[in-house]
Amino acid sequence: MLNVHVTASTRITHQVTPQMIKNGKGAIINLASLSAFFPGPKSYYYCSTKALNLKVKKISFVFPVFSTECFILFPE
């Protein structure tokens, strides 16, 4: 689960960021969960990986010069 939720999203973001900078715009969209805020019993891996996805939003301060935005989606 760690590889899917953290490693994969990190690698994909790392791969597309240079192209977004070259184009001068872009967007990073991550799928989060309310479990990031309200962890449940026996789901600590899932909850912690979703919490880490929320932290990716903080990298958006690096990209304003390039009109790149970070979005977090919360499914209902």
- pLDDT tens, residue order, the chain (76 aa): 777 777 888 888 888 888 888 888 888 887 778 887 888 888 888 888 888 777 766 665 555 556 667 777 776 5
Quote the pLDDT of residue 63: 55
Q: Which domain holds residue 38?
A: 2-73
Quote the pLDDT of residue 5: 77
Cα gap 36→54, rounded to integer Å: 8
Q: Is the Cβ–Cβ distance between 13 and 28 less than 8 Å?
A: yes
For the chain, how many structural domains are there in total?
Answer: 1
Q: Has this prediction a pTM greater than 0.75?
A: no
